[in-house]
Structure 1
Amino acid sequence: MKRIPIVATIVVALAVAAMIALGLWQLLDRLPQKEAFLAQLAANPARPVIPFPQAGDDTLLFRRATGNCAAVRSRQLVGAGKAGFRVIAQCSTDVGTTMPVQLGTTRDPAFRSTWAGGPVTGYINHAPSSQSLIGSVFHREAKPLMLVADTPPPGLAANGEPDLGTVPNNHLAYAWQWFFFAVIATVIYGLALRRRWHD
């Protein structure tokens, strides 16, 4: 009977321990944090209306807010699934900051908004970002916010209500994924040792 390879066993044991630790971190730390965050977001629509924030803060998602579009700098159409396209205006505010405003939705890919700005009331959501998925992994930046208008200008359909389902909560799945990797690594190494002993 051959001896158990010490170095290989230590390496596999450390890898399995790291996978279990990552699973526990997702389960015991990240999951409760996300659940508390989601509970806060669920309560945000009922909280008092605030001025549109000048800096990104995810704890303000779905909070009702007001802002004034002093001037429309640009307009764009962004895909909105079954609703067609979201019409988003990039506004200059009275204090010189930028405030993206989602005016409403349209199914016309050639729609051209003539909205010229003014006071807007709605709720806060994430603005579309051009950052790639890989870029978001290596550069953790706060996502820009936008104001989703309650009342659309003429020619546009109303925006949807705040949807908590758009905020991902995958930490339980991540935890089980790490535990599964740990089990697979252990089984594979066990089979490798068994084959070594029988050769």
Structure 2
Amino acid sequence: MTAAALPLLVALGVWQLQRAEWKEGLLAELRANAALPVAALGPGDELERVQFRRVRLVLGCDPPPPTVKAGRNAAGRAGYVALVRCTREGAASRGDGLLLAIGWGERPDSWKAVRAWPPRDPRPVEGVLVGRDGSPAWMLVASTGAAPLEAAAPPALESIPNNHRAYAAQWFGFAAILAAIYGAYVVRWRRGG
């Protein structure tokens, strides 16, 4: 069992080191995107390549009520962010949609004071594009809040975990412990104990 488990543990450690290199490259790309000027995207443009970049998309959005979640404003104050489901111009289906963070308020019902709701018919919206877990897979954090809401803060690059090196150390540690236990077993076995 040790002969089978030891190479597997080492392989998992090497795999995590490879993932760490991939994640560092991805974070460098996202950091570079954040420094680029606004990109106007058309219906067929890929969102993956412009993640964390300021973009302009043509969106049509659902009417209220929005989804409300805890979040921060651009100044870092805690409160609530209103999210509406929108569809990109030219999208084949609703599955091609994204969430639009229309703004931040101190209270969960702050969105009720919004005077001009994002329209159902497609209009240009500018903001920072970020990927998210779940459906839809994308969120656009609007550059300006829908009055009287303030602009919400987009997720920071620092919030993306990069703990693959720690995982690699863990797998290599498991391999070292297994080797030490097996070595102690062999020594004891040879002594007749």
Report the TM range for the smaller structure's normalisation: 0.7 to 0.9
Aligned length: 176
CA contact (8 A) 2:111 2:149 kept: no
Deviation at 1:121, TM superposition (A): 0.5
Unmatched 5+ residue regions in structure 2? none
Q: TM-score, normalised by structure 2?
A: 0.76
C-alpha distance in 1, partners of 2:53/2:22?
19
**Amino acid in the other structure paired with 1:84:** G
Given that 2:105 and 2:111 are in contact with CA atoms closer than 8 Å, whether structure 1 keeps it comes out as no
Which whole-Å CA distance do the structure 2 matches of 1:129 and 1:55 have between them? Answer: 21
Contact 2:61 2:86 in 1 (8 A): yes
Once residues 53 and 194 of structure 1 are traced to their aligned partners in structure 2, the CA distance between those partners, rounded to angstroms, is 68
Q: Residue 101 of structure 1 aligns with which residue? A: 100
Cross-structure match for 2:117: 116
In structure 2, the partner of 1:79 is 70
The answer to whether residue 86 in structure 2 is matched with residue 91 in structure 1 is yes
1:194 Cα deviation after fit? 4.2
Asked whether the equivalents of residues 122 and 150 of structure 1 are also in contact (C-alpha less than 8 Å), the reply is yes
Q: Percent identity?
A: 32
1:22 aligns with 2:23: no
Instruction: Give the corresponding residue for 1:70.
Output: 60
Match of 1:179 in 2: 172
> Secondary structure, in 3 states, of the residue corresponding to 1:70?
strand
- Which amino acid counterpart does residue 92 of structure 1 have in structure 2? T
Letter in 1 for 2:70: G
Structural RMSD (CA): 2.7
Deviations 1:55-106 (A, max 9, x none): 8754422011112333424511022276222211112343245232111222
Change over 3 Å in CA distance of 1:20–1:127 after alignment to 2: closer
Q: Secondary structure of the residue that 1:191 maps to in structure 2? A: helix
Which protein is richer in helix relative to its size? 1
